Amino acid sequence: MRVAAGYPGTPATEILQTLVRLDPDRRVYVEWSTNEKVALDLALGAAMGGARALAAMKHVGLNVAADTFMTAAYTGARAGLVIVSADDPGMHSSQNEQDNRLFARFARVPLLEPADSQEAHDFTLLAFELGERFDVPVLVRSTTRVSHARGVVRRAEVAAARAPRFERAPEKFVMLPGWARGRHRALLERLQALAAEVEESPLNRVELRDRRFGVVTSGIVYHYVREVLPEASVLKLGLSYPFPTRLVRRFAAEVERLLVVEELEPYLEADVRAAGVPVEGKAYFPRDGELSPDLVARGLERAGWPAPAPRPRHAAPATAGRPPVLCPGCPHVTPYLALRQMGAVVSGDIGCYTLAAMEPLRAMDTTVAMGSSIGMAAGLARSGGAAGPVVATIGDSTFLHAGLPALADAAYNGTRITVVILDNGTTAMTGGQAHPASGVTIRGDAAPALDLPALCRALGSGWVRVVDPYDLAGTRLALAEAVAQRGVSVVITNRPCVEMPVKVRDHPFAVDDAACTACQACMNLGCPSITWSDGWHTGRRKVQIDAATCTGCTVCAQTCAPGAIVPLAGWSGRA
Amino acid sequence: MSAGPSAARGNILLVGVGGQGVVLASAIVADVALRSGADVKQSEVHGMSQRGGMVSSHLRYGPAVASPLIEAGQADVVVATEWNEGLRALPYLRPGAPLVVNLHRVVPPGACRDRLAGRFGYPPLAVDALAREVGDVRACDALAIARRVGSPRALNSVLLGVLATLLPFPDAAWRAALAAHVPRGSAPANERAFEAGRALRWPEETWAQAAAAGPAPNGNEGLARGVPARLAVTEAWCKGRACGICVRACPERCLALDARDRLVVVRPEACTGCRLCELLCPDFAIAVQDACVEAR
Ligand SMILES: Cc1ncc(C[n+]2csc(CCOP(=O)(O)OP(=O)(O)O)c2C)c(N)n1
Ligand code: SF4
Ligand code: SF4
Ligand code: SF4
Ligand code: SF4
């Protein structure tokens, strides 16, 4: 492989990061792209140029890249093009749990479903080879439990790739309608050829054991089935599009009863049925959320199959919930505090700052998809139904990902909204990846840093202001002035994320217990360094600050009317 | 791979809070199992952990491992780097199996939200009650022990030392795995912390800790009011929207200005009597009537 590109997103982020770690000699060109479509465009171009290329993204990233993806199936390339989609059943950290296996069927590209770390390695290599033989991009679909797993991996020798060479072939690479029609037919022909291949592929494995129980499955669920009903016969599908119809019929003939066990959509189930084989599946297993060995066992039980009974267990004691929260000193806090106090209608976006929708800030009214905040704010403003000023809030990485066209749109059409760009210098939510305004590349090399205020002016916003979010009064004033503007106004915050790329740790604060009137104003910031102490004041809990985690942002001190929050005495820097 | 207890199999669940190094600790144990000749699978959920959420890492080893997930009642040992997370993981522990738990508390802000009653939503450090339920509880203040041997950051190595006494792996594998994973400069401190954890005596240490824990900090036996305070507003003195200071300042978001620009208490049931509105009103338009007096 020569080229790899992607945009961060859980659980796909580690793919490119691991590649960088394992390739210190820089034999592969690796980049964080501004969004998934750019990443796929880059990979497709590289593959057309004759270099093996990979694009890695989370499941929703493929929606962004779908325009290229659907037509890349027509063009194919010269060298292997692999798209890795890391799905997130159960939505551990995603806005939806779409099943991207359907994308393979939609675009009609081969689909590989690794079940563990070793297969992730092996299948990726096979995907390049398969794609080159059939001149088609290949989708490798992983899920959180495969992506965020570790296991023993034996690395294979990779044969040296051919030297890349771009050969002109406009009939293949220029999708004018006339040429695209030909390529669509070519795709259908390639599928025919592939259909024969999948019937014989070693990736699709029949394991015959007890003939009473036949299970068709794929991915991580294979291991759950093995764990729960080891005696069952299994058809494990590693290459599941095109669907191996004849193989399934043969397997069905060997077993008494057939069940499909799969996560999310009844994807394999529909194909088995289409093959004319009587089968059951989603009647016993949930169609939403993640499966687990326990859920598989309960489903088998409902189907009337033997399954281990639930194990004896300790009762769950009362515990404190622990939802994710913004870090101590997170620069995203004050804009939301101010917006809530202004009664603004806040169109939110995706990033750490989405947590401002939760208690205690509770200052976000909508969040749907990356970059949607600005367009949706324009819609809310045009609806005439918003009681307060309409404000879009968007992170720097998200703004560059998909916010630029929407800002240009609002400025062009003179829509009265305020856009707050929460510029913390990084893509924090996914672990602090660089982006075009960060000034570094994925390999840590210096890069030109995009000038956000200049960019916003260039996109047509006549009013742009940079504020220090650690200055509560200043942030309030800037926002008040911004919402009074007639067209699009932009407020950009300028404090870095306190966690990455460097940890920001300043003089910590402490609470003067005698002065604290336990009013709880500071608690409304949601700063995790502030909790209740053992002290009381007229029936309310006093508070304390954990000096070990306080970053010294000063914001709580700005909210404390009696001035009870003061710099920690005797602090002498950190060990 | 060295020959070792390759027939051994086990399920180890490590839990804690984002930033505590749970995933690294789990990688060390996985390395130990690998060096001892076992197949290992590890699965972790840490999606939002950077933001102080919970982290769990499932680690299974044996001659061959299928599913990477440990199910309820299936963990042969649970190691918790934080008290509340140890309690949360309890249903995963096989009855009769040991729980290794750090007594350090990381109180989430959400545990301090019941402002009127002042009820603290974090479970008390009831070590003896836990020991009655679980049997084999190995509770220690790993942070204090790590500090004693020189580095608070080596806290997880203390717990790994405790874990080592429960697993069949050779000493050399532990040492090699520790050295391979911790930052080079901190290797000696981690080794000392590991030794300190391994030297703890059970159940003596747990009982000593139970005695030391004493009355739970942030107990709920307090001076909570339970009843809201009441506001008296002198409408003639209030400037309404032209000011609005009290509406912005109220920590409980009790106040609003209605369509006729009159101050209304929209959430009277939430008023804690903090007096911020009274203090900050420039026109003395608000008086807080509060029967609650401090009974100190
Ligand atoms: C289409 C899509 N790609 C990627 C993601 C994963 N993701 C969630 S938030 C985020 C970016 C957050 O960065 P930024 O906007 O700078 O906010 P921050 O987290 O730094 O506050 C990403 C990449 C996603 N949810 N959707
Ligand atoms: S990681 Fe950075 S941006 Fe995210 S909550 Fe923490 S400080 Fe804020
Ligand atoms: S100064 Fe206050 S708000 Fe800022 S991190 Fe410290 S305790 Fe939290
Ligand atoms: S804002 Fe000040 S007085 Fe009010 S609870 Fe916090 S520290 Fe105490
Ligand atoms: S006393 Fe005033 S500021 Fe305090 S909670 Fe009651 S209404 Fe709000």
- Give the minimum alpha-carbon distance from A432 to chain B in angstroms, rounded to a whole number: 10
Q: Are strands A418-422 and A489-493 parallel, antiparallel or unpaired?
A: parallel
User: CA separation (Å) from A229 to A103, A174, A203, A283?
Assistant: 30, 51, 21, 19
The residue type of B276 is L
**Selected residue with higher pLDDT from A62 and A538:** A62
For residue B272, the ligand 5 atom closest to its alpha carbon is: 5
CATH of the domain at A530: 3.30.70
Do B280 and A311 make contact, defined as CB atoms within 8 angstroms? Answer: no
- Same domain (yes/no): A353, A385: yes
Of B67, B122, B133, the CB nearest to A293: B67
Confidence tier at B215 by pLDDT (50, 70, 90): low
Tell me, yes or no, whether A212 and A260 share the same domain. Answer: yes
**Over chain B, what is the mean pLDDT?**
89
Quick one: pLDDT band at residue B295, thresholds 50, 70, 90? very low
- Clarify whether residues A183 and A225 are in a common domain: no
pLDDT digits (tens, 9 = 90+) for A333-364: 999 999 999 999 999 999 999 999 999 999 99
pLDDT at B223: 65
- Number of Cα atoms under 13 Å in the Cβ half of residue A261: 34
A294 with A376, same domain: the answer is: no
Contacts with B217 from chain A: Cβ below 8 Å = 534
Do A474 and A546 fall into the same domain?
no
Whether A465 and A352 map to the same domain: the answer is yes
Ligand 5 binding pocket mutation candidate from B115, B247, B250 (most atoms within 8 A of CB): B250
> Which pLDDT band, with edges at 50, 70 and 90, does A91 fall under?
very high
Tell whether ligand 2 has an atom less than 6 A from the beta carbon of residue A356: no
Question: What is the mean predicted confidence (pLDDT) over B175-188?
Answer: 92
pLDDT at A260 (0 to 100)? 98
pLDDT for residue A267 is more than 80: yes
Which residues in chain B are contacts of A326 at CB distance < 8 A? 51
Among A207, A202, A212, CA closest to A222:
A207
pLDDT at position B7 is: 64
Phi, psi (rounded to 5 degrees) for A226: -60, -35
**Partners of residue A568 on adjacent β-strands:** none
pLDDT tens-digit readout, B218-227: 776 666 677 8
Range A235-257 average pLDDT:
97
Tell me if A350 CB under 6 Å of ligand 1.
yes
pLDDT at B109: 93
Residue of B nearest to A308 (CA): B71
What is the pLDDT confidence band of residue B150, given thresholds at 50, 70 and 90? Answer: confident
pLDDT per position as a tens digit, A11-49: 999 999 999 999 999 999 999 999 999 999 999 999 999
Q: A23 lies in which domain range? A: 3-197
CB of A352 closer than 6 A to ligand 2? yes
**Does residue A172 have a pLDDT over 70?**
yes
Tokens describing residue A76: 């194919």
pLDDT for res B49: 54
In this predicted structure, the answer to whether residue A294 has a pLDDT above a threshold of 90 is yes
For B95, the closest of A314, A355, A539 (CB atoms) is: A314
Instruction: Taking residues B47-71, report their average pLDDT.
Output: 86
What topology is assigned to B5-213 in CATH?
Answer: Pyruvate-ferredoxin Oxidoreductase; domain 3 (3.40.920)
Give the residue extent of every domain in chain B.
Answer: 5-213, 221-295
> Is pLDDT larger for residue B185 or for residue B162?
B162
Domain-located, residue A454: yes
pLDDT digits (tens, 9 = 90+) for A418-433: 999 999 999 999 999 9
**Has residue B6 got a pLDDT over 80?**
no
Residue B248: closest C-alpha in chain A: A341
Number of domains in chain A: 4
B21 Cα–ligand 2 center, Å: 18
- Judged by its nearest atom, the ligand closest to the C-alpha of residue A98 is 1
- The confidence score (pLDDT) of residue B216 equals 66
Pairwise CA distance, residues A96 & A59, whole Å = 9
pLDDT of A533 higher than 90: yes
Residues in chain B: 296
Q: Flag if B123 and A318 touch (Cβ within 8 Å).
A: yes
Taking a C-beta distance cutoff of 8 angstroms, is the pair B66, B83 a contact? no
pLDDT higher than threshold 80 for residue A374: yes
Judge if A422 and A295 occupy the same domain: no
The alpha-carbon gap from B227 to the nearest alpha carbon of chain A, in Å, equals: 9
Pocket test for ligand 5, best of B247, B265, B275, B280 (most atoms within 8 A of CB): B275
Q: Are A533 and A543 in contact (CB under 8 A)?
A: yes
pLDDT at B80 over 80: yes
Percent of chain A with pLDDT over 90: 94
Alpha carbon of B280 to ligand 3 centroid (Å)? 23
- State pLDDT tens for residues A205-230: 999 999 999 999 999 999 999 999 99
Residue A528, pLDDT > 60, answer yes
Q: Which residues of B are less than 8 Å from A321 in CB distance?
A: 108, 110, 121
Residue closest to A136 by CA, chosen among A167, A112, A161:
A112
The tens digit of pLDDT for each residue in A439-479 reads 999 999 999 999 999 999 999 999 999 999 999 999 999 99
For residue A532, which residues of chain B lie inside 8 Å, CB to CB? 112, 118, 120, 218
A64 lines ligand 1 (CB under 6 A): yes
With respect to residue A457, please indicate whether it lies within any of the assigned structural domains: yes
- Chain B residues 157-196 with CB within 8 Å of chain A: none
Q: Is the CB of A297 under 6 A from ligand 2?
A: no
Both A528 and A416 in one domain: the answer is no
Q: Is the pLDDT of residue B1 over 50?
A: no
CATH code for the domain of A393: 3.40.50.970
Q: Which atom of ligand 1 is nearest to the CA of A435?
A: 16
User: Distance, CA A556 to ligand 3 centroid (Å)?
Assistant: 6
Q: What is the pLDDT of residue A566?
A: 97
Please indicate whether residue A296, judged by its CB atom, sits closer than 6 Å to ligand 4.
Answer: no
Q: Please give the angle made by the CA atoms of A479, A482 and A484, to the nearest 5 degrees.
A: 115
- Output the CATH code of domain B221-295: 3.30.70.20
Are A181 and A214 members of one domain?
no
Tens digit of pLDDT for each residue in B83-132? 999 999 999 999 999 999 999 899 999 999 999 888 899 999 889 899 99
A321–B108 C-beta distance less than 8 A: yes
| Average pLDDT value over all residues in chain A | 96
- How much is the average pLDDT of A292-313? 94
Q: Which of A282, A302, A322 is the last residue of a domain?
A: A302
Per residue in A106-117, pLDDT tens?
Answer: 999 999 999 999
Residue with CA at minimum distance from ligand 5 atom 6:
B271
Residues of A in Cβ contact (< 8 Å) with B65? 151
Q: Residue A43 CA to chain centroid, in angstroms?
A: 19
Range A185-205 average pLDDT: 95
Tokens in use for B63? 């001659």
Q: What is the mean pLDDT of residues B20-36?
A: 93
* 8-state DSSP, A403: I
Q: Check pLDDT > 90 for residue A573.
A: no
pLDDT bucket at B4, cuts 50 / 70 / 90: very low
Q: Which residue has tokens 């918003």?
A: A386
pLDDT the model gives residue A231: 96
The whole-angstrom separation of Cα A501 and Cα A495 is 13
A519 lines ligand 4 (CB under 6 A): yes
Nearest-neighbour CA in chain B from A264: distance (Å):
18
Alpha helices in A303-420 (DSSP H): 333-342, 372-383, 396-398, 404-412
Query: What is the distance in angstroms between the Cα of B209 and the nearest Cα belonging to chain A?
Result: 20
Which one of A497, A500, A504 would you pick to mutate in the ligand 2 pocket, going by the greatest count of ligand atoms within 8 A of its CB?
A: A497
Candidates A400, A420, A525; CA nearest to A466 is A420
pLDDT category of residue B46 using cuts at 50, 70 and 90: low
Alpha carbon distance B103, B141 (integer Å): 5
- Which residues touch A172 (CB under 8 Å, ≥6 apart)? A75, A76, A179, A183
- Mean pLDDT throughout A519-540? 94
pLDDT value of residue B222: 62
Question: How many Å lie between the alpha carbon of B56 and the closest alpha carbon of chain A?
Answer: 11
Same-domain status, A27 and A136: yes
A364 and A399 share one domain: yes
Residue A248: helix, strand or coil by DSSP?
Answer: helix
Instruction: Please give the average per-residue pLDDT across B127-154, as a whole number.
Output: 92
Give the per-residue pLDDT at A478: 98
Shared-domain flag, residues A546 and A443: no
CA distance B150 to A417: 55
- Nearest protein CA to atom 3 of ligand 4, as residue: A516
Nearest CB to B122; choose among A320, A528, A541: A320
What does the block give as tokens for A293? 């060995």
What pLDDT is recorded for position A2?
96
CA A156 – ligand 2 centroid, Å: 39
Residue of A nearest to B150 (CA): A575
